[in-house]
């Protein structure tokens, strides 16, 4: 491991020792953060997988129901019937904090003109369309729950990746580098000290010889 390019002085040594202490502390904290994030992520992703499996099945059913309805009704009549929806879904975004990661939380409100989900007259449409619309209304809460968990999982995955990178950088680059440099400076200073002592002894001998 390459050591840092610094002068081997006492001042540098103190500075580096302080940096090493901070790096060690940061490493420990980040490691804890990574472990906890991972725990939350695994919980979330399992929930997400279940929701997605359920949603995919239901959504495919819904789409199929609409295709069936489209087969019976003419496309013009169908698009006319659905041209003006009776309800209007709005979503509110609030922030939730998971281990320092802000994830959005979606709550929805349905603004309905009437309590009736059907936005069309029954004269030109078929019964298949009615059941398709009912199925669609049942799908809505699942869809929005999935949206929340999936986004949270995405954001957490990004954060875990960043944190892991930082932990590794500290563990395998920063800390060994600092340790090596501190060792180098201590050795250099000890060597200087030894050189100094030998010189003093030599001088002392020379002085004694002269007398």
Q: What DSSP element (H or E) covers 178? A: helix 175-210
Identify which of residues 3 and 40 has a Cβ nearer to another protein in the complex. 40
Identify which of residues 24 and 40 has a Cβ nearer to another protein in the complex. 40
The least CB distance from residue 153 to another protein, in Å, is 6
Which pair of structure tokens corresponds to residue 49?
Answer: 């997988």
d(CA 35, CA 38): 5
Identify which of residues 136 and 182 has a Cβ nearer to another protein in the complex. 136
Closest to 96 in 3D by CA, of 31, 140, 51, 40: 40
Other beta carbons less than 10 A from residue 46's beta carbon:
11
Identify which of residues 66 and 181 has a Cβ nearer to another protein in the complex. 66
Contact positions toward another protein, by CB under 8 A?
38, 41-42, 45-46, 48-49, 52-53, 55-56, 59-60, 62-67, 70, 78-79, 82, 85, 87-93, 95, 102-104, 106, 108, 110-111, 117, 119, 132-133, 136-137, 140, 143-144, 146-148, 150-151, 153-158, 160-161
């Amino acid at each position: 491991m390459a050591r840092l390019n610094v002068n081997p002085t006492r001042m540098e040594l103190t500075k580096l020792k302080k940096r090493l202490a901070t790096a060690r502390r940061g490493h420990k904290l980040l490691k804890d953060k990574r472990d906890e994030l991972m725990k939350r992520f695994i919980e979330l992703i399992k929930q997400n997988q279940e929701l997605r499996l359920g949603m995919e099945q239901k959504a495919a059913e819904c789409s199929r129901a609409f295709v069936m309805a489209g087969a019976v009704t003419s496309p013009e009549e169908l698009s006319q019937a659905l041209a003006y929806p009776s309800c209007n879904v709005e979503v509110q975004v609030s922030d939730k904090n998971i281990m320092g990661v802000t994830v959005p939380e979606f709550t929805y409100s349905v603004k309905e003109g009437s309590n009736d989900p059907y936005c069309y007259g029954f004269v030109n449409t078929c019964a298949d369309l009615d059941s398709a619309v009912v199925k669609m209304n049942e799908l809505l809460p699942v869809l929005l729950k999935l949206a929340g968990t999936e986004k949270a999982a995405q954001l957490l995955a990004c954060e875990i990746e960043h944190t892991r990178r930082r932990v590794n950088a500290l563990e395998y680059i920063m800390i060994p580098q600092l340790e090596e440099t501190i060792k180098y400076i201590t050795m250099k200073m000890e060597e200087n000290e030894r050189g100094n002592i030998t010189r003093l002894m030599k001088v002392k001998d020379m002085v004694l010889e002269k007398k």
